[in-house]
Every structure is written in structure tokens, then in C-alpha cells.
Amino acid sequence: MDLGKTIAVRHESIDEGSAGQRIDNYLVRRLKGVPKSLIYRILRSGELRVNGGRVNQTYRLKVGDQLRIPPVRMADPGAAPPVPVGRPLPVVWEDDALIVLDKPAGLAVHGGSGVSFGVIEQLRRQRPQTRFLELAHRLDRETSGLLIVAKKRSALTVLHDQMRHGAIGKRYLTLVQGRWLDRCRHLHQPLTKYLTEQGERRVRVDREGKPAHSVVRLQRRWQHYSLLEVELRTGRTHQIRVHLTQAGYPLLGDDKYGDFALNKRLERDGLARMFLHAWRLDFRHPLTDARIRVESPLPEALEAYLAVVEQTQEREHG
């Protein structure tokens, strides 16, 4: 990689906004344009000092910590495309502690794995005056809907704790192939991550995997398709997609676990994305403890395809 200008020695003091953050994540944000490999090298070598001593990459910063950041060379600005400002991301809820966005499908939540930028990078570009912006959780790139971003470290810590304890109610709407018969069904299959031969990340049901719990409720049913609401009791990667595919009901438009031949036909009929939308969040405010419920209606593209299904499929009741 071509390198550009050198950043001189920097001395920084940690305030409340950065306290609790891992040192490696802090440096990635502060040293924009510096390759991550170089950041980890200065940590391993001990060139970076915290309060005069060495720390490893998992060290969590404390208020008042004094950092000495050694001279590093930034990547050539032309080596990577700049994050575009883009259109303002739709905001469903906001106060001084957090933002709830309505993420469009096709936009990753963060850069990486071949994606140069995502929601969080774009939001920081749009709001340069906001010192702290961090994702409280994630959505798949192909999934639309509600996404929480913390504006304070204290809020992020509480939100992460709520996530770990299942205290945030997350509900999704999805259209699947097949006639779902149960009014309500609990899916408990454990999940594990793996890589394909092509190096792509995938998830499968595995009795040695991490516990995963989805609650599936029938909303509408037709001859060949079913509209389901899925409540996540755990938040594993690709959980809804894998649980429903394992149960015999692949998501329409799912390019990783779905029915690929059917997806091609659906695209001709107007469904050019995966039918999965994070439509409701229920949680307590991380700082005031007030109850919050936010909702996002189905995007126009998904509503339009439901209208096609209503026109072409015989509706079933009961």
C-alpha cells in the first residue's frame, strides 16, 4: 500500500466519551487512514504507551488515561474512496443518548469484507460534530429496518448489556416459501459460523453451536407463501434465515440460504431483494429507563410485492 504523510507523535487524554472503549478500536477511529495492520503492530511492539506503560489490544480505556501515540504514516488518500455524505439516513427516534435509524436494504452497517463503508461511516460523515457514534447491534446488509446507534459510551454499555440479557425486543417481518401452519412456534436450534471454500461466511445448525431462540408467529398465509413475524430471543448471525430454512421455509430473495431458482423468478415478478424487515424494537432507554417502542412499516418494495402475492395467490384463513 502506498503511504502518504507522517503523523507526528500525539499525546491524548481520555475523557468520559472514550472511557470503556478498547484501545485498538479507539486507535482505528482516531488514526483514520492508518492500516489496521500497522495499528496492531505498534500495540504489539509497545511503541504506544498508556500512562507510560505498555498495554495489549484488549485494554479498555479509563477516564484520565494519558496516551502517547508514536509517529505513524497514513495511507495515501487516493488508496481508498472517501465515504460519501449521501442522503440523510431516515431517523425514527433520537435524543442526546441514541439514534434509531430506518436502514435501507443493500447498505451494510459498517465497512469491511469488501465493503468500503456502511451506515456508521456514513453517519459519522454526515454528523462530524457528534464525537461519539457507535452501533449498538447489527443488521445484515440485505435486511432493512430499525437499527440503534449510541451517541454516548455510557448508553452503548447499557444497550450492549440489554442485548446480552435479551432485554431488547426485536421483531422482524419476512415472507417465506411454503404454508406455515402453526400460529406460534419456538425454534431453538443452536448455530455455528463457518467459511465456505470460497471464503464466504455462512451459518448452520450445529448441536455444538451457540444457543439460538426464535419465536415465529403467522401473520398471513397463501397457497405457496407465508408472511411471518419473527421475534429474536437471541441475536446470532443470520439466525432468522438459517432457522426458517432449516424448518423448510426459506426466505424469499435470500441469496445465501434460499431457493435460488425461485429467487430468479421472483426478481422477474418485482422482488429484487430479500424479504426481511426489522419492523419493531421494544427497550428501556439506557440512561432514563423509560420504555421505548419504535416501529417501521414495510418498505414500498416489499408492500408492492405483497400486493402481487395477494393478486396471484389464493388467500387462506384460519
**140 part of the active site:** yes
Q: How far apart are the first and last CA of the chain?
A: 62
Residue 70 lies in a domain: yes
Residue 106 lies in a domain: yes
- pLDDT category of residue 3 using cuts at 50, 70 and 90: very low
Same domain, 69 and 145: no
Residues 201-258 pLDDT 10s: 899 999 999 999 999 999 999 999 999 999 999 999 999 999 999 999 999 999 999 9
Selected catalytic residue, list 140, 206, 255, 269: 140
Same domain, 66 and 113: no
Same domain, 98 and 21: no
Residues 265-274 pLDDT 10s: 998 888 999 9
The pLDDT score that the predictor gives to residue 30 is: 81
Residue 83 lies in a domain: no
**Which of 74, 105, 121 is the last residue before a domain boundary?**
74
**Which of 41, 74, 107 is the last residue before a domain boundary?**
74
On the question of pLDDT at 289 being above 80, the answer is yes
CATH number at residue 232: 3.30.2350.10
Residue 27 lies in domain: 3-74
Same domain, 193 and 290: yes
- pLDDT category of residue 132 using cuts at 50, 70 and 90: very high
On the question of pLDDT at 14 being above 60, the answer is yes
The pLDDT score that the predictor gives to residue 88 is: 86
Residue 81 lies in a domain: no
- pLDDT category of residue 85 using cuts at 50, 70 and 90: low
Residues 160-194 pLDDT 10s: 999 999 999 999 999 999 999 999 999 999 999 99
The pLDDT score that the predictor gives to residue 75 is: 57
Highest mean pLDDT among 62-66, 111-115, 295-299: 295-299
Residue 51 lies in a domain: yes
On the question of pLDDT at 79 being above 60, the answer is no
Q: Which amino acid is located at 87 in the chain?
A: R
**Which of 30, 45, 74 is the last residue before a domain boundary?**
74
Same domain, 268 and 191: yes
Same domain, 165 and 307: yes
What share of the chain in percent tops pLDDT 70? Answer: 91
Same domain, 137 and 23: no
Same domain, 140 and 197: yes
The pLDDT score that the predictor gives to residue 199 is: 77
Of the listed ranges 17-26, 248-257, 284-293, the one predicted with least confidence: 17-26
- pLDDT category of residue 1 using cuts at 50, 70 and 90: very low
Residue 302 lies in a domain: yes
Residue 54 lies in a domain: yes
- Average pLDDT, whole number, for the chain? 89
Across 111-134, average pLDDT:
83
Across 35-56, average pLDDT:
88
The pLDDT score that the predictor gives to residue 28 is: 83
The pLDDT score that the predictor gives to residue 295 is: 98
Cell triple for residue 123?
453517519
Residue 36 lies in a domain: yes
> Domains in the chain: how many in total?
2
